[in-house]
Chain A
Amino acid sequence: MKLAEKVVPFYFGSPNKLLFGCYHEPTSERRRNCAVVVCQPVGHEYINSHRALRQLAARLCDAGFPVLRFDYYGCGDSSGSREDGTILQWLEDISTAISEVRRRMAVVQVCLIGLRLGGTLAMNAAAERTDLESMILWDPVVSGKGYLHGLLRLQKEMLRFRPKPSTAQEPQGYLDVLGFPLSRSFRAELEKIDLSPIAGGPAKNILVIQSGQMSSEVNLEKHFCKTEARLVEYQRFDAPQIWRPTSDGSLLVPSQILHSIVSWTNRLHQ
């Protein structure tokens, strides 16, 4: 499939905390009046899911949606070091990205799409505002403690076939998760994450996507039923968890999920 898209890489935000963004610009005749902002996961999950989110952006762009993918401060190509990232900073980055997309594309309606911790951040950012048209949460992290537990388990699993690094080699104050440092303060921030107190409707329309049958997270469907959020649709797919490392180093693109997201967004913004 040949997709008509123009990709513009650029930096935006405040000069001392520049964020990297990739703007996918649709052709003018197909352009819709709703822009999509993609909130990516962090750490190794960001690396593993980049390919899928880039393809998602291309498909949405082909359907006429202007799309902005961006990296949080201290992540990807954005300024700052890996140790600088905080939840508060990243929430601010999402607001900066929303402002940037509105300024650059001159659109009013904005849809947030967030994968894993990106979904959690998107939901928290959206809870602070009332101007979001729609939101798609793709396997969001519901419990920070569960997420942290999963990261540590994966780190242990990845060390199976290599000599174990001695504790003396670990940078002081940081926990090593697949080459990304987790500071004590960041761990404390993660542990506080819990989507259940968010009871308001963070966006007018919400789609929740869950991959796989087995999940270490709490059942999202039950969770969202308890909140006051207006849950438009809940979809479960028998699809791989693309943010996890694969045995052959490949990066997975779950075509079925991408297709579903584009269809839902299309239906909503016709």
Chain B
Amino acid sequence: MREEAVLFGETKSLVGILTDPPMRNGNHAKPAVILLNPGIVHRVAPGRIYVRMARALAAMGFVVLRFDFSGIGDSAVRYDNLPFEKSAVRETQDAMRFLEATRGVGRFILLGGCSGARISLQTACCDPRVVGAFLINLQMTENEDQNSDHITRSAAFYYWNFALFNLKSWCKLLTGKADYRNILRALGFQARTQFTSGGKMSVESIQLAANLRMLAERGACVTFLYAECDPRLNDLREAVGRELKQLRTLGNVRVQIIPRSDHTFSSLHDQEKLLKEICELIDSVTPVTAGAPLNQHHDQLPQSVQETLPQHGGNSAGCQGTRGS
């Protein structure tokens, strides 16, 4: 495996790290993987998870590029007034062109967290070279969370979905050890959100459903990966829950939930689960050779991933592995 610092894009000002697999021949069948910034965090990502992903995927034979959009991380700011949604898609296509020119790869899998997931989806919709997208905790709209901070949202989601069913939480509540003000604020937020949404499909939901149908028809594989404690999981269910059920039957749309983890996968265990999930799913996007078992590269997973995690359906201290929804 070899890592190389690269500059590319219209003005050669986008900074990235290109990770090549240990051995690569000229008839490289695998698509290249491009990792997109999770929000405004630079290409290393929280917990250095993108570095680990890039190395794990390269060990499986993928060429991987992680880079910073203009104005994020080490990449220079653009001065053409292009809105982020457009410049980010354009820069992702710059990354694809760069990989085509330097590595001869013509098919791509995009992977991004939060807003990076949204850009992955948008690029996939407009560029047929994208054969797969991994959308981690997809941010549904550009301006989400404008009226609330992330902690209030997470708190509301936690109280509503976990604490309500937890004996310890009730004990704390009844013995006066709970933070009542926080609970009231969080529950008020939750009630307000549910009241205002009213179960109506927003423009974004309709658009998302249409995009997913279009990608499924094109044969592109879309995988939603959600942390169980991320409120955005609710957003997805509310937005396209029914559509997803139908789309999943087509086989190219998957939803995977990482149990007990949070938005940034902020524990070591969460990160291992996320990494393992991606490594297991990614070959099924485009199998290397027809007839090859999808998990043929399991023995090439990083050692730490194999050793630390329970197998699917296994039970490790209340953790039931990763499950689909």
Chain B residue with Cβ nearest A167:
B317
By the criterion CB–CB under 8 Å, are A18 and B317 in contact? Answer: no
Q: Which of B108-163 contact A (CB under 8 A)?
A: 145, 149-152, 154-155, 157-158, 162
By the criterion CB–CB under 8 Å, are A20 and B5 in contact? Answer: yes
CB of A44, distance to nearest CB on chain B (Å): 7
Interface size class of A (residues with CB under 8 A): 35 or more
Bound Cα distance A163, B41 (Å): 25
By the criterion CB–CB under 8 Å, are A77 and B5 in contact? Answer: yes
Q: Which of A20, A47, A165, A249 contacts B267 (CB 8 A)?
A: A165
Residues of chain A lying within 8 A (CB to CB) of residue B262: 161-162
By the criterion CB–CB under 8 Å, are A168 and B317 in contact? Answer: yes
Interface membership of chain A positions 1-44, coded 1 if the CB is closer than 8 angstroms to chain B and 0 otherwise = 01001011111000000101010000000000000000000001
CB of A155, distance to nearest CB on chain B (Å): 9
Residues of chain B lying within 8 A (CB to CB) of residue A76: 44, 48, 51
By the criterion CB–CB under 8 Å, are B48 and A166 in contact? Answer: no
Q: Please tell me which stretch of B20-28, B72-80, B97-105, B249-257 contacts chain A, meaning at least 4 of its Cβ atoms lie within 8 angstroms of it.
A: B72-80
Residues of chain B lying within 8 A (CB to CB) of residue A10: 5
By the criterion CB–CB under 8 Å, are B158 and A161 in contact? Answer: yes
Residues of chain B lying within 8 A (CB to CB) of residue A166: 317-319
By the criterion CB–CB under 8 Å, are B47 and A7 in contact? Answer: no
Residues of chain B lying within 8 A (CB to CB) of residue A47: 41-42, 44-46, 48
Q: Taking A161-B158, A171-B308, A180-B47 as contacts, is the C-beta distance between A50 and B151 under 8 angstroms?
A: no
Interface membership of chain A positions 164-202, coded 1 if the CB is closer than 8 angstroms to chain B and 0 otherwise = 011111110010101111000000000000000000000
Q: Which of A9, A44, A162 contacts B46 (CB 8 A)?
A: A44
Interface membership of chain A positions 70-85, coded 1 if the CB is closer than 8 angstroms to chain B and 0 otherwise = 0000011101011000
Residues of chain A lying within 8 A (CB to CB) of residue B261: 162
Q: Which of B74, B79, B318 counts the most A-chain CB atoms under 10 A from its CB?
A: B74
CB of A45, distance to nearest CB on chain B (Å): 12
Residues of chain B lying within 8 A (CB to CB) of residue A220: none
Q: Please tell me which stretch of B189-197, B211-219, B268-276, B289-297 contacts chain A, meaning at least 4 of its Cβ atoms lie within 8 angstroms of it.
A: B268-276
By the criterion CB–CB under 8 Å, are A77 and B319 in contact? Answer: no
Residues of chain A lying within 8 A (CB to CB) of residue B318: 166
Chain B residue with Cβ nearest A166:
B317
Bound Cα distance A181, B48 (Å): 11
Q: Taking A9-B5, A22-B74 as contacts, is the C-beta distance between A179 and B145 under 8 angstroms?
A: no
By the criterion CB–CB under 8 Å, are A179 and B264 in contact? Answer: yes
Interface membership of chain A positions 151-165, coded 1 if the CB is closer than 8 angstroms to chain B and 0 otherwise = 000000010111101
CB of B177, distance to nearest CB on chain A (Å): 13
Number of B residues with CB within 8 Å of any CB on chain A: 55
Interface membership of chain B positions 31-73, coded 1 if the CB is closer than 8 angstroms to chain A and 0 otherwise = 0000000011111111111011000000000000000000001
Residues of chain B lying within 8 A (CB to CB) of residue A161: 151, 154-155, 157-158, 229, 262
Q: Which of B41, B45, B150 contacts A248 (CB 8 A)?
A: B150
By the criterion CB–CB under 8 Å, are B319 and A82 in contact? Answer: no
Bound Cα distance A82, B166 (Å): 34
Q: Taking A82-B48, A170-B268 as contacts, is the C-beta distance between A7 and B74 under 8 angstroms?
A: yes
A236 within 8 A of B: no
Residues of chain B lying within 8 A (CB to CB) of residue A160: 155
Bound Cα distance A259, B49 (Å): 32
By the criterion CB–CB under 8 Å, are A22 and B15 in contact? Answer: yes
By the criterion CB–CB under 8 Å, are B266 and A251 in contact? Answer: no
B265 within 8 A of A: yes
B236 within 8 A of A: no
A54 within 8 A of B: yes
B208 within 8 A of A: no
Bound Cα distance A47, B48 (Å): 8
CB of A35, distance to nearest CB on chain B (Å): 18
CB of A78, distance to nearest CB on chain B (Å): 9
Bound Cα distance A7, B14 (Å): 10
Q: Taking A50-B73, A163-B229, A178-B47 as contacts, is the C-beta distance between A169 and B269 under 8 angstroms?
A: yes
Chain A residue with Cβ nearest B71:
A51
Bound Cα distance A168, B319 (Å): 10
B316 within 8 A of A: yes
Chain A residue with Cβ nearest B66:
A77
Interface membership of chain A positions 57-97, coded 1 if the CB is closer than 8 angstroms to chain B and 0 otherwise = 00000000000000000011101011000000000000000
A250 within 8 A of B: yes
Residues of chain A lying within 8 A (CB to CB) of residue B46: 44, 47, 178-179
Apart from the given pairs A51-B40, A176-B269, A248-B145, 6 other A-B contacts in the complex at a CB distance below 8 Å: A11-B5, A22-B15, A77-B17, A179-B48, A179-B267, A248-B149
Q: 10 tightest A-B contacts by CB?
A: A179-B47, A168-B317, A9-B5, A161-B158, A166-B317, A247-B149, A169-B269, A162-B229, A247-B151, A161-B154
For this complex, 22 residue pairs linking A to B, each with C-beta atoms less than 8 Å apart, are A8-B7, A9-B15, A11-B3, A44-B46, A47-B46, A47-B48, A50-B44, A158-B266, A161-B158, A162-B262, A163-B166, A165-B260, A169-B267, A171-B268, A171-B269, A176-B267, A176-B269, A179-B46, A179-B48, A179-B267, A247-B149, A249-B150
